[in-house]
Amino acid sequence: RRCCIYSHGKKSMKDALVEKINTILQSDSLKNIYSNYFKEKLHNKVVKICVDDIKLNLFIIFQDNNMELSIDEIQQDVEISGTLSSFIFYSAIGGSDLYSSKINISGDVETANSLNNLFKETDILRGIIMEIIGQKASSSLFSILDPIKEKMSKSSERNKNAFSDFLKYDVSLVPTKEDINKYIDDVDEIKSRTDKLLNKIK
């Protein structure tokens, strides 16, 4: 059982983060999806998520009928790692190959494949990101990225390749750890850049 760390009677930031994410993971809708479609492959597995640039390690424990997040070090079956911007794009584009190359996945192949399918079919990764960077910043981010996803589904292969290069090299579209607090003030500029991108791939 995870032991909470308290400071002056208050929960640490990491414990508060874990508590909020567990509320998402243990919602009825996610529990039903997990139990009906993924339990057979993921039951008793542990997945480690490493957000490299902000030094955050999270562990998803797949149990009988639900999933639970922990920050305690646990022996994992699969490790998935990348920068915060990589995870944001990965979740926004729905696990597409356009950005999945920026995410490193190691460990049991069958578990990794099931995990990737779970991320594609649910908003688990998006929910985790929203709690990490905050509701306001993530709402602004996904309001920009979601239309791009829709455009890409209708775009030609040439445009998809061009957009793939854009995602790989222009990651300044997404805030780094140092940029998160400043990000909201820069949304107008980012929207302008995104509009130009969307015009190119029409």
Cα 192 to Cα 12, 87, 93, distances in angstroms:
38, 23, 20
| Model pTM score | 0.70
Give the model's pLDDT for residue 139.
82
Please state, rounded to an integer, the average pLDDT across all residues of the chain.
Answer: 77
- Does residue 135 come out as left (phi exceeding 0), alpha (psi in the -120 to 50 range) or beta? alpha
CA 26/CA 33 separation, integer angstroms: 11
Give the model's pLDDT for residue 56.
92
The answer on pLDDT for 6 being more than 70 is: no
Average pLDDT over residues 127-135: 89
Return the ∠ at Cα 160 (arms to 126 and 141), rounded to 5°.
30
